[in-house]
Amino acid sequence: MQMHQHASLAVLLLVLAAMVSSTGAAPVSLVVTNDQDTGPGSLRDALSTVQPAATTIITFSSSLAGSTIDLTASGSLVLPALVGNASLTVQAPAVAGSPVLIVQPLVAGGNPETALGSKTATSATNPNVVVEFINFQFAEMTFAVYDGELRFTDCEFSSQGSLGQALVTKSALIVAGDRSKLTLTRVRMTGFRTFITGNPPGPAANGAAIRADPSISAAYPLRPTGVVATDLRVISCEASNGAIFVQDTPFTCTRCTFLSNVGTNGGGLYATGTGAAVALTDCQFSANIAQTAGGGMHVINGPTVVVRRVVFIGNQATFTGGGLHYSSSTSEAVLIYESSFVGNALVSSAAARGGGAYIASGNSLPTPPYATIQIHSTTFYNNELSGNPNPGEGSGLYLQLLQGPPANASIISCILWRDGFNAYPVYYTPSFSLANAAMPFYNNDWSGAQAAGVVGVFGNMDANPLLHPVSTFWIPFPSSPVIDAGANPNGDTADVRGLARVVGAAADIGAAENQAPVAVDGALTVNQGTVVTAQAPGVLAGAYDPDGDAPIRAVLVSGPTNGFLTLSSDGSFQYTPSVNYVGPDTIAFRASEGPRLSAVHQFIITLVRVNHAPVAGNVAYSVKQDFTLNQPAPGLLASSSDPDPGDRLSVAAVIPPANGALVPQADGSFRYTPNHGFSGSDSFSFQVMDGAGATSTAQGTITVVSNQPPIATNLNYTGKESTALVVDSAAGVLSTASDPDGDVPLSALLAPGGSPTHGALTLSANGSFTYSPTPGYSGPDVFKFTVVDTRNGTVTRQANINVVANLPPVATDLSYTAKQSVRLSVNASVGLLSTASDPDGDLPLVASVVAGSGPAHGTLNLQPDGSFTYAPTPGYSGADAFNFTVTDHRNGTVSRQATITVDANLPPVATDLSYTAKQSTNLSVNASAGVLSTASDPDSDLPLVASVVGGSGPAHGTLTLQPDGSFTYTPSPGYSGADAFNFTVTDHRNGTVSHQANITIVANLPPVATDLSYTAKQSVALSVNASVGLLSTASDPDGDLPLVASVVARSGPAHGTLNLQADGSFMYAPTPGYSGADAFNFTVTDHRNGSVSRQATITVVVNLPPVASDLSFTAKQSVTLSVDASAGLLSTASDPDGDLPLVASVVAGSGPAHGTLTLQPDGSFTYAPTLGYSGADAFNFTVTDHRNGSVSRHATITVGEMLNAKRWTLKSNMYVCLYT
């Protein structure tokens, strides 16, 4: 068994024990079997059943691995309101690459929260409850914890927010409330966006991935317990301040990565407030961007920060701290140990400070203590001020000490190398002298810098500091990453030993080499099953460090494969072997003294075998009387075992049975033959031996079972007169037989003297038989049979056969109806046998005509299945008949009569019809409304056909009539009034009826229209579309569409020009400057040239000027005021006529007296007050509408004086450049 499997089991047992101890009851287990949002077996259903005070574990069925739960319909999840020490664990199947995905649709501004606790609670009510999710992927979801602890293990959070400028999401994880806690283990967070880049940026919010902020909930100012993250990845998130934002909340992060995140300040992490203690260990900030300060991390307003073995690489900011920005005005601390700042940059072309790191202690305090700054064993390499600002601004490190005296700061065992172009790697600005002896420089004195290992190429240092001899001052801390950078094929400057020492992020220029510790292999031999407990030094026996570094610790490389190991750092261990394992088991380990590790060594534990006697087990078997039992292996060994795996067992000796012969084999198989005629129990003893010769004894018992006769019953059968009865084996004489001993197969014999009296019998051994009754006989018959088992046990029984006489078929007289001169076809389903049956089931039945009884008035063709055709004599109508016989399979017969009624033909039924046509317009009538639309035929002699009665066509038009009754009628031009024609309807058998169709031709009616009124603006063309044009109120009583509009000749408008379209739309352009009434007449014409004329009136109204108000603004002294359009000069302006857009301009000669104004047409402007001026300023502006109407107003600006300004005087050459 692998060590980690044992460890997982141990952890699970501990967790379960803790659950039982804390709740007093075993955990409640629920299973999710449904990947739908709702319904039985769904996650939402399981969450709704969780009891508030219980410990609950919700697991997903393994079939749901890789499935998706879409929350679109029901929204965010609802976590149960747990109380006391209750906990909830929700765990998806642990299938690599197939997490369960829970997704909500992306909503701008973020989805509703899935919350633990209440946001409105003023203090914690259940701070000890825990909810944990394991093995999930969450898309577009937001979780919040306000009360208790929320955990995520092996989970991923993702959002599409980063893919579009308009998509802004809520923070993925929110922490607020009283004593709330967020714990993350192996979690990845990608793509969350609470900040949109642009000019101006927005909308802005803090913490795209995580926002820990007490002010979010009603419990503020009470604070959360904090955020603890291990193996966290935060990638491609955007926020105003930090992909992760922590305010007054502790934040601890181990092995975390911040990659390609963007923000205004702190692209990766932003921390603020004295309660926001930050502890980072073995983390990396890569390629993060801040638009202002702290490309990787931004810390402000008092948090204590501890950074250990953290790499800031390739991050970027604009003004300060390409990798890290830290500023404090309190007595907190920034402690940076064993870290690297590599390839970070500032891009400002103005003032830029600290390409790698910007660290400022803040304002001076009246009394100690002061902020503590420690930078130990840290490398600054290849950081840049790419905007090329003034030299000396700290391309590697900008250190600003404003607290004191004295300043509490130290830089020890650091490397600053190749930082910056035209900028010193370190810029140091103390306000007071330094009293801390650990600080490597005093008052710009380079001697201390050299001793501390600060290397550079500018300033007052030697041209090549590498020529300095190695001293104790140059040796970095043992755990410093600047030690042993390794060889660089590019041939960088060599150290005192001639080795190239700058490689990527590591450098140890001039540093002494730290040697790795040395370990040795170890071995131990113990008996199998022995638990080994080794005290220190354990696996480290014989290990040492050439440099004398202590302590040396054991680091596990791989655990044993056949046992469970607990290894302590001091080398002591406990090893528990797997059950029954024999052989070697290996522990691979290294010795460590910090940054250096020994080679991999082995500690081999050999477990040797200890033999145990076998465990012999009793066996029992049975055999039939006078039969031999041949029992295969394992036979006698079937119940035996050996505690030692792999030990082969064998039968060593036997004490024979008393009532039979036993022949055993070593593998346990045996043959047993009971004495002839014996039945009962027989026993013997046997000895079991293992491969090492150890033995034990057991007993064998064999039961010899005597023979019992078969069991059978008397049977009854029924046969038909003169017909053979065939019975298969399933229903034969053995169908009810059995044998108590299982001596099968059974066989059947005819008992002596047991043959039937009234027939012949053939009986087979399997019990099937054929019985043929004497011809013509009906009544009872019997035969006897014997059942025999395989050991010749017998029983005799009787079979009774009832031979029944034949009964004739049953049939009825039948009646049919035929049409005159039309053949009648009758199929079998309604034919002569349709009502016939046979009491004996002697099928099939056959129909035939009784000789000489055929129909008198037609011809008959009869089939054996009862179907027939009957052709009546042409023209005959009336009754006809014939007799028929029904015969069964055994020639039983019955005769009956079939009667046929031949009906004469009836003529069709139709009605006179009326139609309406328009004057001078064709009337087209389809078949559904034509002259056959009311016609029918009593005999259903279809189809019916329509025709015009000769010489009865219409008098006032032309007619085209189709056989289906549809027709076209064209009235004589100009005629209106009545017209008619006669038509005949003919059925399929030439029956006819005639009727009349009347047509009324109606004259044309003119259209209907109304006078109309419109309003136009002075000097502005009026465009009217068809929906409100001249035809908008017009209609035609006859429906003669489309209608057409036209201007009545010489009635056009007097004060403008008109362009009229046929659909009634028009454009009217008033004479420039004219206002008042104007009009024109128009005609509406229908499709048949009917027309009506009406008048359109247009009122031309004059322009009204815009409306605006005087405005006031406030600016800061010596600071440019920028006002956007939403708050600008047009923010209160409007136009009564809606003549938009409005345009703003400055009244000539009225510009501000104490500053410079730049005004845009949309009312936005910038105002730059004269440098140092404070007081009132003003200017006049004009608002102009789209038709040049205008109004002027007054804008006042109050320039306020800057408060609490402090001035600093920097003497020439007051900078320090530090290098190693």
The predicted-structure confidence for 143-178, as pLDDT tens digits, reads as follows 999 999 999 999 999 987 765 555 667 788 999 999
Alpha-carbon dihedral sign for residues 711, 714, 718, 719: positive
pLDDT of residue 994: 92
Q: Could you give the C-alpha distances from 1170 to 400, 1124, 1153, in angstroms and in order?
A: 32, 21, 9
Determine what percent of the chain falls in helix, strand and coil, rounding each to the nearest 5.
5, 40, 55
pLDDT of residue 580: 82
Helix (H) or strand (E) holding 494: none
- Residue 457's pLDDT band, with cuts at 50, 70 and 90, is very low
Query: Domain 715-804: what homologous superfamily?
Result: Immunoglobulins (2.60.40.10)
Instruction: Quote the strand ranges of 753-867, DSSP E.
Output: 759-763, 769-773, 779-788, 794-804, 814-819, 824-826, 846-849, 858-862
Give 693-722 pLDDT, tens digit per residue.
Answer: 889 999 999 999 888 889 999 999 999 888
Least reliable range by pLDDT among 228-237, 503-512, 558-567, 660-669: 503-512
Helices and strands (H and E) in the chain: how many? 3, 90
pLDDT of residue 509: 41
Question: Residue 338 corresponds to which amino acid?
Answer: E
pLDDT of residue 1186: 85
**Are the C-beta atoms of residues 22 and 85 closer than 8 Å to each other?**
yes
Q: Which fold has domain 913-1002?
A: Immunoglobulin-like (2.60.40)
What whole-number percentage of the chain has pLDDT above 90? 56
Q: Reply yes or no on whether the pLDDT at 1212 is more than 80.
A: no
Pairing of strands 305-308, 333-337: parallel
Q: Could you give the C-alpha distances from 914 to 67, 870, 952, 1070, 1071, in angstroms and in order?
A: 71, 44, 16, 56, 59
The secondary structure of 451-470, three-state, reads HCCCECCCCCCCCCHHHCCC
Q: Around Cβ 386, how many Cβ atoms within 10 Å?
A: 17
Q: Around Cβ 956, how many Cβ atoms within 10 Å?
A: 15
Contacts of residue 367, Cβ cutoff 8 Å, sequence gap at least 6: none
Whether 814-903 and 715-804 are alike in CATH topology: the answer is yes
CATH code of the domain occupying 619-705? 2.60.40.10
SS3 of 829, please? helix
Question: What residues form DSSP beta bridges with 696?
Answer: 688
Give 346-363 pLDDT, tens digit per residue.
Answer: 888 777 788 888 888 765
Show the tokens assigned to 900: 């046929």
Cα of first residue to Cα of last residue in the chain, in angstroms, is: 52
Q: Could you give the C-alpha distances from 433 to 406, 428, 782, in angstroms and in order?
A: 6, 12, 135
pLDDT of residue 390: 54
pLDDT of residue 1214: 39
Question: What residues form DSSP beta bridges with 8?
Answer: none
Query: What whole-number distance in Å separates Cα of residue 352 and Cα of residue 390?
Result: 8
814-903: what CATH class? Answer: mainly beta
Domain ranges of the chain: 133-198+228-420+429-434, 544-608, 619-705, 715-804, 814-903, 913-1002, 1012-1101, 1111-1200
Helix (H) or strand (E) holding 700: strand 695-705
pLDDT, average across residues 323-337: 84
pLDDT of residue 1219: 32
Question: What residues form DSSP beta bridges with 384?
Answer: 345
pLDDT of residue 178: 92
Q: Reply yes or no on whether the pLDDT at 544 is more than 60.
A: yes
Q: Around Cβ 628, how many Cβ atoms within 10 Å?
A: 12
pLDDT of residue 407: 52
pLDDT, average across residues 1170-1183: 93
Give 234-281 pLDDT, tens digit per residue.
Answer: 999 988 899 999 999 999 999 999 999 999 999 999 999 988 899 999
Q: Reply yes or no on whether the pLDDT at 1131 is more than 50.
A: yes
**Are the C-beta atoms of residues 1185 and 1163 closer than 8 Å to each other?**
no
pLDDT, average across residues 461-477: 33
CATH architecture of 1111-1200: Sandwich (2.60)
pLDDT of residue 402: 61
pLDDT of residue 413: 57
Q: Tell which residue, 1091, 1092, 1089, 1093, has the closest CA to residue 918.
A: 1089
Least reliable range by pLDDT among 240-249, 429-438, 1159-1168: 429-438
**Residue-by-residue DSSP string for 1018-1071:** TTS-EEE-GGGSTTTT-B-TT-----EEEEPTT---SSEEEEE-TTS-EEEEEP
Q: Could you give the C-alpha distances from 1137 to 1014, 1053, 1101, 1141, in angstroms and in order?
A: 16, 24, 10, 11
**Are the C-beta atoms of residues 231 and 255 closer than 8 Å to each other?**
yes
Give me the chain's average pLDDT, please. Answer: 83
Q: Which residue has the higher pLDDT, 341 or 1082?
A: 1082
Give 609-645 pLDDT, tens digit per residue.
Answer: 888 889 999 999 999 888 899 999 999 999 999 887 7
Q: Which residue has the higher pLDDT, 656 or 487?
A: 656
Give 284-317 pLDDT, tens digit per residue.
Answer: 999 999 999 999 999 998 789 999 988 898 899 9
Give 173-210 pLDDT, tens digit per residue.
Answer: 999 999 999 999 999 999 888 865 554 454 557 888 99
Give 499-541 pLDDT, tens digit per residue.
Answer: 434 444 344 443 434 567 889 999 999 988 899 999 999 999 9
Q: Reply yes or no on whether the pLDDT at 459 is more than 70.
A: no
- Residue 418's pLDDT band, with cuts at 50, 70 and 90, is low
pLDDT of residue 21: 36
Q: Reply yes or no on whether the pLDDT at 548 is more than 60.
A: yes
Query: What whole-number distance in Å separates Cα of residue 1220 and Cα of residue 426?
Result: 10
- Residue 1178's pLDDT band, with cuts at 50, 70 and 90, is very high
pLDDT of residue 374: 82
Q: Could you give the C-alpha distances from 536 to 553, 554, 770, in angstroms and in order?
A: 11, 10, 95
The tokens 């007093």 sit on which residue? Answer: 24
Q: Reply yes or no on whether the pLDDT at 886 is more than 60.
A: yes
DSSP label at residue 1153: S
Query: What whole-number distance in Å separates Cα of residue 612 and Cα of residue 589?
Result: 35
pLDDT of residue 497: 35
**Residue-by-residue DSSP string for 27-38:** PEEEEE---SSS
Q: Could you give the C-alpha distances from 44 to 35, 622, 806, 934, in angstroms and in order?
A: 10, 59, 74, 65
pLDDT of residue 453: 34
pLDDT, average across residues 776-801: 92
Question: Residue 102 corresponds to which amino acid?
Answer: I
Query: What whole-number distance in Å separates Cα of residue 915 and Cα of residue 923?
Result: 9
Query: What whole-number distance in Å separates Cα of residue 551 and Cα of residue 1043?
Result: 105
CATH code of the domain occupying 1012-1101? 2.60.40.10
Q: Tell which residue, 364, 366, 365, 297, has the closest CA to residue 334.
A: 297
Least reliable range by pLDDT among 138-142, 233-237, 435-439, 1001-1005: 435-439
Question: Residue 467 corresponds to which amino acid?
Answer: L
Q: Which residue has the higher pLDDT, 948 or 108?
A: 948
pLDDT of residue 458: 32
